[in-house]
C-alpha cells in the first residue's frame, strides 16, 4: 500500500483520468494566440462540456441578468480568464465522476466541496480580500484527496469520514494516514499541472493555527470548517471550529459568516447540478 500523499496521488492519476477535451482546451488556453472563437469551435463539438459550461454560466456563480443560451455568448460574457477556471472545474470534477457511490458517500463529499467553494467565494467578495480570484476552485478541490485515497485505502477513508464531535475530520485523517486529505489533493492537482494559485492554498490551509499564512489559505481554512459545520448541524460549535483570530485577521465578523452560510444554502443545489459530479 502506498504511504505518502504523493504515492496515493500517483496511483489516483492513473485511475482517474482527465477527459481528452480538458487536455485539448488547456493546451489551447496556454497559447497566446488563442481566441474565444477558437475555443467555441471545440466546445460546440463536445456536448458534455458545452452543457456544463452553459449551466455554470447561467448559475448563481455569475448571476448574469439574461439567460445565456449559446456557447459563443457564454464565452464572450465570461472572458478567457473565467473560461480557464471553468475548464479546470469541469476537467477535475469529470475525472472523478465515475467513482462507485457504494465506496463513499459522494453526495456528502460534493455537498461539502461545493459549500466550501461558495463560502470562500462569498467571503472573498464581501470583504474584497486580495489575491483570491481562484478561491472558488481551491474550495471545490480542497478535499479531492479523499477520492484519490479510496482506491487503495477504502476502509481507512470510511473511518476518517465517520468523525464525531470529539474529533474533527482533519485530526482523524492525520491520525490514520499521517497527513490530511488536502495534502493528497495538492499532490494530485500538481501532477495535473493546475495553476499554483489554486493549489498552494490547498497545500497550506490546514496549518493556519501553526503558521502565519496568506489570505487565500486562511480563507480556505475558514471555508472548509464552515462547510463541515453546515453539513452536520449541531456537531461542532461554529465559533470554535473556524477560529476567532483567523476571522479577525481577515476582517470577518460572525454576521459575515452567517451571511456566507445563507448564501451557500441558497445556491449550493444549483451549483451541484452544474458540474459533472454524478
Percent of the chain residues past pLDDT 70, beyond the cut: 97
Q: What distance lies between CA 116 and its chain's CA centroid? A: 7
Question: Is 132 within 8 Å of 216 (Cβ atoms)?
Answer: yes
Q: What pLDDT score was predicted for residue 263? A: 94
Q: Which residue has the higher pLDDT, 231 or 100?
A: 231
Based on the number of CB atoms within 10 Å of its own CB, is 63 exposed (0-12), middle (13-18) or buried (19 or more)?
exposed
Instruction: Quick: pLDDT tens for 107-138.
Output: 889 999 999 999 999 999 999 998 888 999 99
Q: Quick one: pLDDT at residue 107?
A: 85
pLDDT over 90 (residue 140)? yes
Q: Domain segments of the chain: what residues? A: 17-95, 101-277
What the block records as the C-alpha cell of 236 is 461542532
Dihedral angle over CA of 196, 194, 108, 48, nearest 10? 150
User: Residue 64: is its pLDDT beyond 90?
Assistant: no
Mutual angle of helices 215-231 and 254-274, in 10-degree steps: 80
Domain with residues 101-277, CATH architecture: Orthogonal Bundle (1.10)
SS3 of 225, please?
A: helix
Three-class secondary structure of residue 164 per DSSP:
strand
| Residues contacting 157, CB < 8 A, separation 6+ | 104, 146, 149, 150
**pLDDT value at 160 more than 80:** yes
* Mean of per-residue pLDDT scores for the chain: 90
168 has pLDDT over 80: yes
- Out of 11-25, 58-72, 135-149, 236-250, the most confident range is 135-149
Average pLDDT over residues 35-52: 89
Q: How confident is the model at residue 1 (pLDDT cuts 50, 70, 90)?
A: low
**pLDDT-derived band of residue 13, with 50, 70 and 90 as boundaries?**
confident
- Encode pLDDT of 215-272 as tens digits: 999 999 999 999 999 999 899 999 889 988 899 999 999 999 999 999 999 988 888 8
pLDDT digits (tens, 9 = 90+) for 183-206: 999 999 999 999 999 999 999 999
Amino acid at each position: 500500500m502506498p504511504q505518502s500523499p504523493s504515492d496515493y496521488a500517483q496511483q489516483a492519476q492513473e485511475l482517474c483520468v482527465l477527459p481528452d477535451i480538458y487536455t485539448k482546451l488547456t493546451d489551447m488556453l496556454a497559447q497566446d494566440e488563442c481566441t474565444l472563437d477558437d475555443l467555441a469551435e471545440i466546445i460546440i463539438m463536445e456536448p458534455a462540456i458545452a452543457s456544463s459550461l452553459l449551466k455554470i454560466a447561467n448559475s448563481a456563480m455569475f448571476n448574469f441578468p439574461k439567460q445565456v443560451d449559446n456557447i459563443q455568448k457564454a464565452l464572450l460574457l465570461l472572458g478567457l480568464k473565467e473560461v480557464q477556471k471553468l475548464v479546470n472545474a469541469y476537467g477535475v470534477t469529470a475525472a472523478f465522476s465515475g467513482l462507485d457511490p457504494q465506496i463513499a458517500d459522494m453526495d456528502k463529499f460534493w455537498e461539502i466541496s461545493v459549500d466550501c467553494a461558495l463560502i470562500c467565494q462569498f467571503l472573498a467578495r464581501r470583504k474584497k480580500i486580495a489575491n483570491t480570484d481562484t478561491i472558488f476552485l481551491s474550495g471545490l478541490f480542497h478535499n479531492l484527496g479523499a477520492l484519490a485515497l479510496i482506491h487503495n485505502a477504502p476502509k481507512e477513508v470510511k473511518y476518517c469520514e465517520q468523525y464525531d464531535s470529539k474529533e474533527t475530520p482533519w485530526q482523524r485523517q492525520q491520525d490514520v494516514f499521517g497527513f490530511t486529505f488536502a495534502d493528497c489533493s495538492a499532490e494530485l492537482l500538481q501532477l495535473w499541472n493546475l495553476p499554483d494559485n489554486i493549489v498552494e492554498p490547498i497545500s497550506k490551509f490546514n496549518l493556519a493555527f501553526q503558521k502565519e499564512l496568506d489570505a487565500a489559505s486562511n480563507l480556505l481554512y475558514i471555508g472548509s470548517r464552515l462547510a463541515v459545520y453546515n453539513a452536520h448541524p449541531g456537531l461542532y460549535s461554529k465559533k470554535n471550529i473556524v477560529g476567532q483570530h483567523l476571522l479577525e485577521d481577515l476582517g470577518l465578523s460572525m454576521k459575515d459568516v452567517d451571511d456566507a452560510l445563507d448564501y451557500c444554502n441558497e445556491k449550493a443545489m444549483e451549483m451541484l447540478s452544474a458540474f459533472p459530479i454524478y
